[in-house]
Amino acid sequence: EDQVTQSPEALRLQEGESSSLNCSYTVSGLRGLFWYRQDPGKGPEFLFTLYSAGEEKEKERLKATLTKKESFLHITAPKPEDSATYLCAVLSNDYKLSFGAGTTVTVRA
């Protein structure tokens, strides 16, 4: 059974304190990995797609990386507006999409 695990469940950061979120997966072959940001009471907002190990994508203070077994979302010098829940989703070879439970990031000024 496909499994996607995100850690930590919650992360509290001081403004400017860089950190990383982890998404580890066990799937029957990887077709793609997606990162989303979700604000309270809203739907997930698409951030990045990664398709193969070694690939990296960047957007403002966020950088996503991918290995054969996990992905990291690095937040560099975060600001309070980066506070959100970050979700990852993994697409397996049989086109099944599995979501992790998310990491809730709180950035204090």
Partner 1 sequence: DGGITQSPKYLFRKEGQNVTLSCEQNLNHDAMYWYRQDPGQGLRLIYYSQIVNDFQKGDIAEGYSVSREKKESFPLTVTSAQKNPTAFYLCASSISRRGNQPQHFGDGTRLSIL
Of the pair 18, 52, the CB lying nearest partner 1 is at 52
Q: Which of residues 48-77 bind partner 1 (CB under 8 A)?
A: 49
Cβ neighbours of residue 42 under 8 Å, at least 6 residues apart?
none
Measured CA to CA in angstroms, residue 13 lies from 55, 71, 84 at distances of 26, 20, 12
Q: Which of 15, 28, 42, 52 binds partner 1 (CB under 8 A)?
A: 42
88 burial level (CB within 10 Å; 0-12, 13-18, 19+)? buried
Binding window for partner 1 (CB under 8 A); candidates: 11-19, 60-68, 69-77, 91-99: 91-99
Residues in contact with partner 1 by CB under 8 A are 4, 9, 31-32, 34, 36, 41-46, 49, 87, 89, 91, 95, 97-102
